[in-house]
Amino acid sequence: MTGFALGVDQEEWCGRLRALSAERLRPLAEKGEPGRVNRPLLAALGELGLLERVFASGALELCLLRESLAYGCTEAETALALQGLGAYPVLRAGSEAQRERWLPRVRSGRAVAAFALSEPGAGSDAAALALAAERDPAGGGWRLSGEKCWISNAPEADFYTVFARTGEGPGAKGVSAFLVPADREGLSGEPLDMLSPHPIGSLRFDGVPVGPEDLLGEPGRGFRVAMDTLNLFRPSVGAFAVGMARAALDATLAHTAGRTAFGGTLSDLQAVAHRVAEMATRTEAARLLVYAAAGAYDRGAADVPRRAAMAKLLATETAQYVVDHAVQLHGAVALRRGHLLEHLYREVRAPRIYEGASEVQRTIIAKELYGALAGEVVGQ
């Protein structure tokens, strides 16, 4: 895929989503409490059929959905994305019983899902996680002991996709994935007061019992479940970032074209106009890379890990650049609590860290490039 352009139907759909997110979803988001799961907002996403589309669509449509919602209501976009992130491993690797019990409730917004991978000592290096799954000789299953941290939707989720070390092999080869209901004995958690407005918390596992029926996939194959999920959602994190960048850019265009200064408008100043041009160019480049990665995922291309990493890296770094310069061009008004750019300024920082920090994305890209080179050399 060397280029990207939306069809007329796609453009119209995205326009409807942007309007829907601003008119229907944003009022629900504003009634919510920062740092808490907004269940009425989730229910609305379910009623509108948007949660269903997270699971029924490919990467390209998921990116269009996330970008469009982010433009009008970042809280709605994040609530939708976290449902997908937490439940996608169930869709891909869960048993029929697990899927039947949880996925209809996730799609309708009646059950809150969470993806529990990161730990206090294993964030960017996910293969280094230490949550222990020790064999329970009495029950034929395992007991989970340890902590998870920086988990979106914790501790309010109804179930968690949990990755723990079962020890079939070293590093990533000894990790298994489990579906753990929130009411399971020994599981507790607490919210964390974070910069970004969506809920994030920590979890404590004190001998939490899990059995073979709680496994997602096979023992020792949990890391692959996590990476398959992240390969889909990393480009769509980029789409979220692009949506924020486009919202900031449009706000800046309107502000600089209408604000009088120095005998004209701000847009008459070359320094301002050139900065806006740079913001627009970077945003468009990031958008193209995001949808190229999504198209590669939908085609089943071999280079998805590299493309997904590139898309997330460029889009999140670009969004940070665009929002920061948008604030600068607006001046003090953009720092006032409740202003769109004040909100975006708080939202835009976290995506450069979660689901693999920018430094991790660069490592993935380099590893894929040198790995491909080594393959070519061997082939010669």
C-alpha span between 226 and 79 (Å, rounded):
19
Q: How far, rounded to the nearest angstrom, does the alpha carbon of residue 158 sit from its chain's CA centroid?
A: 19
Helix (H, G, I), strand (E, B) or coil at 223: helix
For residue 302, the 8-state DSSP code is T
Nearest Cα to Cα of residue 34 among 155, 201, 197, 153:
197
| Buried/exposed code over 224-240 (b: 16+ C-beta within 10 A; e: otherwise) | bbbbbbbbbbbbbbbbb
Nearest Cα to Cα of residue 243 among 100, 344, 364, 102:
344
Q: Are 313 and 365 in contact (CB under 8 A)?
A: yes
The string of DSSP letters for 329-373 reads: HHGGGGGSTT-HHHHHHHHSSGGGTTTS-HHHHHHHHHHHHHHHH
> What tokens were used for 283?
């945003």
Q: Radius of gyration (Cα) for the chain, nearest Å?
A: 21
Q: How far, rounded to the nearest angstrom, does the alpha carbon of residue 5 sit from its chain's CA centroid?
A: 23
| Buried/exposed code over 86-107 (b: 16+ C-beta within 10 A; e: otherwise) | bbbbbbebbbeebbebbbebbb
C-alpha span between 353 and 307 (Å, rounded):
18
- Angstrom CA distances, 40 to 47, 109, 257, 301, stand at 10, 8, 38, 38
Q: Is 75 a catalytic residue?
A: no
Please identify which of the residues 75, 347, 355, 368 carries the catalytic annotation: 355
- If phi > 0 it is left, if psi is from -120 to 50 it is alpha, else beta; for residue 19 that is alpha
Q: Which residues carry out catalysis?
A: 355
